[in-house]
């Protein structure tokens, strides 16, 4: 048993709030680092202790390993929870913490190097006989890289080796565009992850993106908590996730989940992680990548299993055994998570910035909200545009969709554009409600997902409201002119 006296949260926003709440339930003090841009955030107010960090940019501050270690020593934090993003999958960070005798709440640095990098993870899976899409890496092919990629045939998918989130990903359907697309991918990979390495794989048309939540302790116990459907994506980034995945046969579900557990065991994985797969229309599935951290979409798993993943992460980091076996894991109902983004979904998902003039999020039976903003805060372009996660749970998928739609109807954000209405249109689409989904859902139904045209009556009402909200117009037409305005209540 390893004692953890205080945990430093090396993150911000909604995941920082999420970690702080679990720490509070466990009666473990937490200390939050924050850049001044986040000084008024709910995470800072929620934290019992918060210390400011600095850097040439806000992102650089949260990536400053030595500054974070210095603050651990200054505050007496003997453990760090990295959340997701930033340093969560940085093996150098995990290694430096180990050197300083500070517990990293996540897997070992060696495991992050093995499974957190797509190229090494794919090589590992190939060597152990796990299903993979045919691919070519620069390190494997050397000078013959382009030639061997061409042998795969089109369509192709280029990926950054060191990261995810859609950064550095490009689909190539014409070989004449291959070299240019590879260079673009390398430039993006270097900019976002500090590593220009890429690999190219055969692109599977109309696949589903299925991921499996795994947990492993230091005593050889590895379990899964079921799968999540993550196929609703824009620009290779998820915007809506659910659990369980709709329409999977029990046999296929068990095959995918058991393969995820085997991969984690073979990699000697510890703590929480996610094994991701591509599911082809014919039922074949292939290893995609492993995220060696907690996922953005972990709440849907928590809602259906009633298991606190952050609490278990901390418990495993303290060398505790998993408190349940695979047979004891029970899923109930259905959960859907919607990512509320500050973006104009009807204008090519253009990120939006500005002040949150009104910010009201839903509540009610079966509704959970994870967010890191408050009314009056500024939304900047410094970070990812996600404002909050709205999670709806129901007895079945139909009820979960109904509650998700109600949650969006109860959401009010004024001051900046959000994707609230766009999410409603996805949830209401007949293909979604019938479970006919894959990663091409959004481009395929692009026209269907556009906002409906205004009727003449709606247009007239909006124009009237705009005119009546104009102070210059109302003052000129509705206020009494002088000298009558100055007479007040005087009567002759």
Told to judge if 293 belongs to the known catalytic residues of this protein, a careful annotator would answer yes
Provide the token pair at 196: 């220009």
Alpha helices in 389-446 (DSSP H): 397-409, 420-428, 430-433, 441-444
Which residue, 38, 4, 29, is CA-closest to 378? 38
Name residues whose C-beta falls within 8 Å of residue 260's C-beta, 6 or more positions apart in sequence: 212, 214, 224, 275, 277
Residue 177 structure tokens: 């565009």
Q: For residues 369 and 367, what is the distance between their CA atoms, to the nearest angstrom?
A: 7
Name the E strands within 180-284.
198-202, 208-216, 222-234, 237-243, 271-279
**Helix boundaries (H) for 231-354:** 250-266, 298-305, 309-317
Give dist(CA 424, CA 429) in Å, integer: 9
The stretches of 194-295 forming alpha helices (DSSP H) are 250-266
Query: Cα 195 to the chain's mean position, in Å?
Result: 21
Of 15, 171, 6, nearest to 87 (Cα)? 15
Of 293, 339, 397, 403, catalytic: 293
Host H or E run for residue 392: strand 386-394
- DSSP letters for 156-188: EEEEESS--TTTT-EEESSGGGHHHHHHHHHHH
Beta carbons of 302 and 22 less than 8 angstroms apart: no
Half-sphere exposure of 285 (CA within 13 A, CB side): 24
Where do we find the tokens 């009201």? 360
Ranges of beta strands (E only) in 2-150 are 7-9, 30-34, 49-52, 79-81, 103-104, 135-137
- The catalytic residue positions are 293
């Amino acid at each position: 048993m390893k004692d953890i006296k205080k945990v430093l949260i090396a993150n911000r926003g909604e995941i920082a709030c999420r970690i702080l709440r679990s720490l509070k339930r466990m009666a473990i003090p937490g200390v939050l680092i924050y850049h001044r841009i986040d000084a008024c955030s709910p995470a800072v107010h929620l934290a019992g202790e918060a210390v400011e960090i600095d850097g040439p940019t806000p992102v650089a501050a949260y990536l400053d390993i030595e500054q974070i270690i210095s603050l651990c020593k200054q505050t007496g934090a003997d453990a760090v929870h990295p959340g997701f993003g930033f340093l969560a999958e940085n093996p150098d960070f995990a290694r430096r913490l180990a050197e300083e005798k500070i517990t990293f709440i996540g897997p070992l640095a060696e495991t992050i190097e093995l499974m957190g990098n797509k190229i090494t993870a794919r090589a590992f899976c190939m060597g152990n006989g796990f299903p993979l899409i045919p691919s070519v890496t620069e390190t494997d092919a050397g000078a013959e890289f382009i030639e061997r990629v061409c042998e795969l045939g089109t369509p192709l998918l280029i990926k950054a080796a060191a990261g995810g989130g859609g950064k550095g990903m490009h689909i190539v359907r014409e070989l004449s565009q291959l070299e240019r697309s590879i260079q673009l991918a390398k430039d993006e990979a270097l900019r976002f992850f500090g590593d220009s390495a890429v690999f190219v794989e055969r692109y599977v048309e109309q696949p589903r993106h299925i991921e499996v939540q795994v947990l492993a302790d230091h005593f050889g116990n590895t379990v899964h908590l079921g799968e999540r459907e993550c196929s609703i994506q824009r620009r290779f980034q998820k915007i809506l996730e659910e659990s369980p995945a709709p329409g999977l046969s029990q046999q296929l579900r068990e095959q995918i989940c058991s393969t995820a557990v085997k991969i984690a065991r073979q990699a000697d994985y510890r703590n929480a992680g996610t094994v991701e797969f591509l599911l082809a229309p014919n039922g074949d599935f292939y290893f995609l990548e492993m995220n060696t951290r907690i996922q953005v979409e972990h709440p849907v798993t928590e809602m259906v299993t009633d298991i606190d993943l952050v609490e278990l992460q901390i418990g495993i980091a303290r060398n505790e055994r998993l408190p349940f076996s695979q047979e004891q894991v029970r899923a109930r109902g259905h959960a859907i998570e919607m990512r509320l983004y500050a973006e104009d979904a009807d204008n090519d998902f253009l990120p939006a910035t500005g002040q949150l003039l009104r910010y009201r999020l839903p509540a009610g039976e079966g509704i959970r909200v994870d967010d890191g903003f408050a009314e009056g805060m500024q939304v900047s372009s410094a970070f990812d545009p996600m404002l909050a996660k709205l999670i709806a749970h129901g007895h079945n998928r139909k009820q979960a969709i109904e509650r998700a739609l109600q949650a969006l109807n109860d959401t009010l954000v004024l001051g900046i554009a959000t994707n609230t209405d766009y999410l409603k249109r996805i949830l209401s689409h007949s293909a979604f409600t019938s479970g006919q989904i894959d990663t091409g859902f959004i481009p395929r139904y692009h026209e269907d997902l556009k906002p409906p045209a205004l009727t003449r009556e709606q247009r007239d009402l909006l124009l009237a409201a705009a005119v009546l909200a104009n102070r210059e117009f109302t003052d000129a037409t509705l206020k009494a002119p002088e000298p009558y305005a100055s007479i007040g209540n005087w009567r002759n």
